[in-house]
Chain A
Amino acid sequence: MLDVGRHPNIDLLAYSEIEKVEGEEGNFKVTVRRKARYVEEDKCTGCGACKEKCPTVVPDAFNEGMGERKAIYSWFAQGIPSTHTIDPNYCRQLQGKKCGVCAKTCQAGAVNFEQKDRVVELTVGAIIVAAGYDVFDPSRIPEYRYDKLANVVTAIEFERLLSASGPTGGHLDRPSDRAIEAEIEALEKKAGKSQKVIAKFEEQFGQASADFYSSFQKGEYKDDEERNKWAEKYKEHLEIVEPLEAMKKKAEGFTAAKRLAFIQCVGSRDFRFYPFCSGYCCMHSIKEAIIAHEHGPETTSTIFGMDIRAIGKGFEEYKIRGGNHSNITYVRGRVAEIQAGPDNNPVVIYEDTKERMVKSEEFDMVILATACAPTKGIYELADKLGIELDAYDFVKTSPLSPVDTSRPGIFVCGCAGAPMDVPESVAQASSAAERAAEIAFYGDARKEKAVA
């Protein structure tokens, strides 16, 4: 990744979108919109001092919204380019309020609130579409209650929870527990403030609030305006502190998630959504289960699926090793429903096709192996490029020319063409590079020279 940023032959246009494509193989005219970052790329050193000082907290999209970032941010710590970006939807200054803290902090003078989108014209001989995929939105499957149950997450969200660079620093804290902890933190702040207010009264009257309040409730000081205020503030304080203490007590019992369920084919091999198999999700779940077990050796995982498609190099061996060493149980069956259980524990209702009976089981967390969905932007992009999509909106290719699209000079690789795993994407990427290189190196002479 770093090599891309450094390579003299690569002109990296991040935070940019394709506007328009004209022309044909050997001579495409492409218009690219470079969105304003409000930070000047040639001045920003990526040091990150600005985001330390930025007062506006924003949900972190890189962490699937589970962590926080600032309104001025880098997409992720090692991101290339390291240039920071201001999110105009959150930035106080750009929203017309007073701020500009980042600009004052930046000693390189890189922040520029006046920056505008720029339009770049490129002329290229060939185009490679590597637009990727979207994670299927599992809230479309109401019976899995993804949007209702906090501890039902997608595989990619789980990936961030496992990651040492993720929002939990790699601790397998359940989202429901994290939500309560966040609430505790917020309440503690509030309690701290109200504590200060009543402390002033205590000092003023030389009496502990609790003592005062019990006499106040007995009807004393009814006419004392100041003391009435005190009573009111103290009551407010209690309303914060009491639930806070209860929550704190509850939080003491929080442990890392230990009983995990992985549900395969969420949106894939499902006629309501995508009838195809997404290919990589079986291995993804197995890998996540193995890593979760590495985090906590008492972790147990159950993988619910129809077939476990361990079809890559070393995959079957990995699957078996997971079963033998990482407490993974493979259950053949489709999950019918996920229900709410006690303590925010999701309950999985499934048919065990081997034992031919409906069962239910409670877990600490459920991970949904979501389908590889065609990326939303692909319709518009395919339209601009003039290439055909297949029945599921992946870029159309043929098995005998796997990276050629319907339009000469435009190639596709990776999950934009069909779901596939990393090594296949990498291999295809090289294939597409080869096809494009044939144009780059031969250009007009190509038609006579190329055979088959």
Chain B
Amino acid sequence: MSKDILVIGGGIAGIQSSLDLADMGVKVHLVEKLPSIGGKMAQLDKTFPTNDCAI
């Protein structure tokens, strides 16, 4: 039995899932194919203008 969770994909959905679970105290492994997380949303100009502000 394992209580860890695997999240595949480090875009906005994967990030949010991971943070929710991690904040609950669950160990999360977040796997992202690219060198950094952020996904498509990081490429957007506005909406996600503030990488530090957002999440």
Chain A residues within CB distance 8 Å of chain B: 1-4, 7-18, 26-28, 30, 32, 37, 62, 64, 73-76, 78-83, 85, 122-133, 156, 159-160, 162-164, 166, 170, 287, 291, 377, 381, 413-416, 422, 425-426, 428-430, 432-434, 436-437, 439-441, 443-444
Contacts and interface: CB of A to CB of B under 8 A. Distances in A.
Category for how many chain B residues contact A: 35 or more
Interface in B3-49: 3-47
B1 to A, nearest CB: 5
A287 B47 contact: yes
B28 to A, nearest CB: 5
A440 B5 contact: yes
Contact of A10 (B1, B28, B41, B46): B28
A13 B1 contact: no
Nearest to B25: A9
A1 B55 contact: yes
A17 B35 CA distance: 11
B17 A432 contact: yes
A3 B4 contact: no
7 contacts: A123-B2, A123-B4, A130-B7, A130-B9, A159-B45, A291-B45, A443-B1
A22 to B, nearest CB: 13
A3 B51 CA distance: 11
Contact of B13 (A83, A123, A164, A415): A415
Contacts of A16: 31-33
Contact of A17 (B33, B39, B41, B46): B33
Contacts of A14: 10, 32, 34-37
Contacts of A426: 12-13, 16
Nearest to B42: A76
A381 B8 contact: yes
A166 to B, nearest CB: 7
Contacts of A131: 8-9
Given A1-B42, A4-B18, A291-B45, A414 B12 contact: yes
